[in-house]
Every structure is written in structure tokens, then in C-alpha cells.
A and B are shown apart, each in its own frame.
Chain A
Amino acid sequence: MSAATPTRAAAPAAPPFLQIQDVVKDFGGGAVAVNHVSIDIAKGEIFALLGSSGCGKTTLLRMLAGFETPTSGRIVLEGRDIAGMAPYDRPFNMMFQSYALFPHLTVFENIAFGLKRDGMPKDQIAARVEAMLKLVQLGKYAQRKPHQLSGGQQQRVALARSLAKSPQMLLLDEPLGALDKKLREETQIELVNIIEGVGVTCVMVTHDQEEAMTMATRIAVMSEGRVLQVGPPSEIYETPATRFVADFIGNVNMMEGTLTKDWPDHVIISCADCTHYVGHGITGTEGMAVGVAVRPEKIELSRTEPAGEHSPHNKVRGTVKDLSYFGSFTVYHLQLASGAVLKVSESNVARHRDEQLTWGDTAWAHWAPTAQVVLTQ
């Protein structure tokens, strides 16, 4: 039985550029960092490995770079298995979390480092380094040493260095981790523009959902060495495949219930505080236990009981137990009859509202029949 539309990758027409086939990394002593992971990566896409620390994403990235060898499985680049290839032989380049700029070399020499190893003639190196510096807008800083640069500038040098050799794939390890919030927002967009401008395939590792969602074309959500879901950001957010994914990305209200009525065009699910009329195509068997996930922003609040077309479904009454004011939006914590708390997020569209809800108020929460995601896993 499928509780949601089956996850499908953004199916590329051409055969995948890089294939990670059933890769396992076992460090021994019970520490299996990567547990049978298979991912296809298309040429030109920005692919994010998203998960909290310890989920195996960094180990997977290091295996792509060549710093770790898989215990089993293959990493296939355009037909050939590169799993045993040394890092200096691979056509990939990595941008490290700590930037790893060589402190004893100038910016110019840092960027030229990889080109020199290839034996490129001096004038070609100079031209290429100039082009790279122009790309990251650091033309005047060629003769500076890394400690004479700010954090943001160091990051741009690291990017230039990793793109200098026109790698077939760019690997990013928590690219924005070291920057403060303001700088991070600006850099996200800049980074994506440069990468897409150059047209290089990119695999990035991050624990920051916002980073993954804004920058990547496809995301793989990982936990405990396994991939839970792969898809474009909107799919991961709006159509999570498991409770874990639903909870990991953004905020969600998880309600457990039983499927009571199964009609061809809709189902009714009964939960502790309310009943759901789920209008999009789902089939199931009556009596099965399911979870219903509704995002806070999909719920509306009103002081009076709404008369929706699917009443008495898709609505519930509660008391405002808590509220958090974020400036552009407010999150209300609505306490329901069973004691569960429903999180509702409302944009503050008007500057002042006379009937603004506050602590202790009673309110009705209601949502559309397309707002729910039904999960079995």
C-alpha cells in the first residue's frame, strides 16, 4: 500500500553521471557509518546530503573524495568504478569546512597549487588563476596570505582553488558552517550562482536544512547511515516519506490515528482530537494505523467555528497555551482536549490587529483536505 505518491528522483534523461551503488563503510567495533547507500547523481545538479551529525553524510562525501575506501559497494563514474582510486587521481575537488588554505602560500599560490601539480605551463596557470580570482571577486588580493583575509574572503579563495582545475565534480563539506547568519544568506545565493555559472556537478554535505533547501536541486535525507528519502526540496518538504523526514525538515504536527473510512476519492482518518478528510488519492485498508502530518503554516486560526465544506472534519478547537512572536510571523501553540499541542504558524500580514489572539484565548484551527500527508513509516 502506498501512503503517498512514490518517491521518484528527478529522472534524468541521460544515464546518471555518478552512481553510488550499495556502498557500506564499516569502521569496525559496531560503527557502521554508511549502511547500504545507493544514490544516482545527474550531471550538472547540486545534490545535498542532509542529516544531523553522525548520520554518515561526511563519511560518504569522504569516500567520494577518496579519503576513505568503502568496505563494500561501488562508486561508478561514467561507467568505471573509482572506489579504490587515490584522491590525487580523481577528477573531483573538495572545499573543506575549515577552508584548509595553505598558510605559508599566497592566495595566488594556493589557487595555482593544483594546476602546478598537473604540470601546466606558467603563463597558462597565471591566466587561469586570474580568471578564478575574477570569478570570486578577489582580484586585488592575489598576493595576500590567508591570515590577512576575513572569513568570507578565505571561503571564496577556497572555492576558487577547488574550481581551478575544472573538476568533473565539486564536493562541499558544510560550506557555510563557519559564517555568521547575515553572511550566510548572502553567500548562499552567490555560491549557487557561481556553481551554476560554471556548470559543475556538485555534492554538498550539510546539517542545515535551510542551506540544503535553498541551494540544492535534489536532497538526500540521511539518518544513521541510511538514506531515507531523495528528491527535490519541495518534494522533501511537502511529501515526506517517513515520520522522521517530516519531523526533521521544518516544523510539523504529527497526529496518530486510524483509517476509518476508505472511499475511492477520499479517506477519513480518526485521531485523538479530530478527524481528517484527506482528499488526495490514497488507498488503504480500514482499521490500519497511520500518522497524519500537517505543517503549521497550512493551518488557519479563527475565533469562531469555521463552517468548512468538509465539516466536521479538518478542524479542532483549542486554547492558546503559548505563542512566539518572530516578527514576520507568529507561532501559536494550541492546547487541544487530549493535552496534545498543535503548532500553528500565521504570517503577520497586518501591522496591528485588534482581534490578535493571545494567551488563554480559545480558537478554532482548520485546514484544507489537501494539507495533510499520510504516513505509514
Chain B
Amino acid sequence: MNAPRTRSRGVLSPAFNQWFARGWLAAGYVFLFLPIVALVIYSFNDSPIPNKWAGFTTRWYTALVKDREMLAGLWLSLRIAFYTACGSVVLGTLAAFALVKYRRFTGRTLFTGMVNAPLVMPEVIIGLSLLLMLVSVQRATGFPERGALTIWMGHLLLGMAYATVVIQARLQDLNPQLEEAAMDLGARPLQVFTLVTLPMIAQSIMSAWLLTFTLSLDDVVLSAFLSGPGSTTMPLVIFSRARLGLNPSVNAVATITVAVVATGIVVASYLIARNERNRTRDMAAASRAGG
């Protein structure tokens, strides 16, 4: 019998592999975070000309407080995002249910296609088509006027697609015997949903809500197509300023956004990780105790 073969033959030794992996990951993260870091640093730059450091200042932040246009945009965006998230979660849960619980119904392929398409469809197409439809309806019935409502409708379409993906994934992993057990014990179908299914998919509903909220808050193209006079969302404000050139007020907004998002994600990740640790600890203790 020959001597045992080493795992990797050839040029790549295990040590090289490890350093290569670390290097690639590090470079990748630098790539991902570089713009964010730059934004934050230059938001404190005491100079309207970017890329030329002229000292530390917080005047861009104080200017934000007086920036009516930006604040109005922020307020509008937050409202639209809130309603988008709520609506997306409702429609997304219904769609996820339809896809997971009902294997066969007429037009299922079309339904699946329509639910998944907004995930990848270029937004200019969605925006244009939705706008043309709304205009036709408006010409015929006088409703709706282009504005916050129409923006909400567009965001809802996109949000629903994302919410469905998230909720459907969780729903499919659910043990169907849980719902059967509930029915066996006397719960009627609606009670099964509220008492058993909903608590179990609650976390994914929350994720879907946050995801669609962020999506709506960030959207440019749909908002541009579907907005009306007086309904300028924050991204549209930023976009029009960014088109004209570099603008430190945008940096200030960016830094605040990053700070909020980062805090949220770090907190959420920590809570989830701690939950997982407690669970595994409990399960290990239980199986050790035995019987």
C-alpha cells in the first residue's frame, strides 16, 4: 500500500489556499465598503469642493435641518415606504400561501411568472407600463391623480414580489403536521392560521416588512415615472442633485442612512445569533438529561 496521498496536490498548498481565501474576502469587503466609508468621511469635509480635504465640520448636517426640499422628500418617502411595507406583506403572505398550499389551480404558471417577474424586470419597463395604465384609467374615470398614491401602487408591485420570496421560503419549510395537529385538536382553518401558522412565520414577515420598506425608501425609477406635482420622494431629490454634480448635503444624508441601517442590522444579527445560541444550548441540555 502506498503512502497516504496528501489532500491537495500540485501548486496550491493548504496554507496558500487559506491566505488566498482571506485575501479575496478582504479585498471584496474593501470593495463593498469603500464607497460607504468615502461618503461618511467627506460628509465632514469643510469644503463644497469634494475630494479636497479642507478640515472637519458638521455644517452639512446643520444645513440638512433647514433643507426643506430634502426633509419634505424624507417625510413623503417614509410614509410611502410604511404603506408599501404593510401592503406588500399582506399581498406577499397571500401569494406565498397560494403557491405553497395549493398545488394545483388554473393559471398557476401564469401566477408564478407574474409574482416572480418584478424581481428582475427592469424598472423602466414596470414604471412606464404602470404609468400608461394609470393614465388610461385616469382619462376614463378621472381617478387616480398622479402622486403619492400612484407611487405607492408601483412600489407595492415590487414589494409584493420580494415579500413573496421571503415568506414563501419560510412557509415551505414549515412542518405541515403542525397545522394538521391544530385541526385535529379542534381548530378551524382560520384559527389554525392565526394560532399556529402566523406565529411560526412571524419572523419572516418581519424581514419581508423591513426589506420592502428599504426597497421603497430607496426607489428612484418607479417614483420618477409615477410621481406627480408636489410628490417628490427623497431619492428623487438626491438623484436630481447627484446628476448635477457632487453635493456634500448628499453625503450627510448618506452617513445618517448608513448609521441607521448599520445599527439596525448589527442589533438584529446579534439578537438572532443569541436566540440561536440559546436554542442549541437548551436542546443539548435536554438530550443530555434524556428520557
Contacts and interface: CB of A to CB of B under 8 A. Distances in A.
Most buried by A among B178, B181, B183, B282: B181
A150 B289 contact: yes
B241 interface: no
Contacts of B195: 113
A148 interface: yes
Contacts of B175: 98, 100
Interface string A45-73: 00000000000000000000111000000
A117 B187 contact: yes
A322 to B, nearest CB: 31
B287 A102 contact: no
A165 interface: yes
Given A98-B175, A102-B196, A104-B200, A114 B185 contact: yes
Interface in A274-297: none
Q: Name the prevailing secondary structure of the B interface residues.
A: helix
A96 B186 CA distance: 15
A152 interface: yes
A113 B185 contact: yes
A337 interface: no
B282 A161 contact: no
A106 to B, nearest CB: 13
A86 B180 CA distance: 11
Contacts of B183: 66-67, 86-88
A303 B275 CA distance: 68
A114 B186 contact: yes
B185 A148 contact: no
Interface string A147-161: 111111100000001
Contacts of B184: 65-66, 87-88, 92-94
Contacts of B285: 148
Nearest to A62: B180
Interface string B280-291: 001101110111
Nearest to B200: A104
A118 interface: yes
A151 B180 contact: no
A153 B185 contact: no
Given A114-B186, A118-B186, A152 B178 contact: no
B177 A150 contact: no
The 6 closest A-B pairs by CB, nearest first: A114-B185, A117-B186, A100-B181, A100-B177, A148-B282, A87-B183
Interface of B: 175, 177-178, 180-188, 191, 195-196, 199-200, 279, 282-283, 285-287, 289-291
Interface of A: 65-67, 86-88, 92-94, 96-98, 100, 102-104, 113-114, 117-118, 145, 147-153, 161, 165, 183
9 contacts: A65-B180, A87-B180, A88-B187, A92-B184, A94-B181, A117-B185, A145-B282, A150-B287, A161-B185
